[in-house]
Structure 1
């Protein structure tokens, strides 16, 4: 099953590095979801384990967990990792090219 969330090469590399450097167990993956309400909420990322509400996807050996209740809101998201003047970290953007 194809993941509704895309990871850039830089994000994949950083996620793998973070998991290895922190000796995070294989049962953990990247959680992508919503924080707050559907219309006014913000996207959240974090390392977590799956729950019974999650759909699990694999992107280049990286587990991605999405709560089924959030699935329709995360379809088409792209996760990137940026290092720049405004700081370093993950960014989430939507595919607006429709």
Structure 2
């Protein structure tokens, strides 16, 4: 199981965690949605759920559900700013396609 976080994403996640000290970590995974099938989820996790795994990635507690593990294995999480917009960006080797708007992806 391998997930990487760029320095920019690490800084952003640490900022969120520092502002919510009770958080168990950053939840990273996927949900079924969009025109291509899956969308990424990044949020603060209040607690660990059954079926979750805690991964320590460059000092960031990353919580990933067993259901998402195979779909996000190998993903590099980045954080980018473009003008007034800022968002996490995902480089996932498992993705075989994306919808036109870039909000969802498919896997084989």
Aligning the two structures, in what range does the TM-score lie when normalised by the shorter sequence? 0.7 to 0.9
> Could you tell me how far 1:7 is from its partner in structure 2?
0.4
Structure 1 match to 2:71: 73
> Could you tell me how far 1:86 is from its partner in structure 2?
6.6
Unaligned runs of 5+ in 1: none
Which string of whole-angstrom CA distances, capped at 9 and with x for unpartnered residues, describes residues 3-43 of structure 1?
522100111111112211x2332x52111111116x71111
Structure 1 stretch displaced more, 64-73 or 84-93: 84-93
Unaligned runs of 5+ in 2: 95-108
Structure 2 match to 1:28: 24
Among candidates 29, 32, 37, match of residue 40 of structure 1: 37
* Normalised TM-score (structure 2): 0.73
Structure 1 match to 2:58: 60
* Normalised TM-score (structure 1): 0.79
Among candidates 8, 14, 17, match of residue 15 of structure 2: 17
Partner SS for 2:44: strand
Runs of 4+ in 1 over 6 A off after TM superposition: none
2:78–2:89 CA contact under 8 A, matched in 1? yes
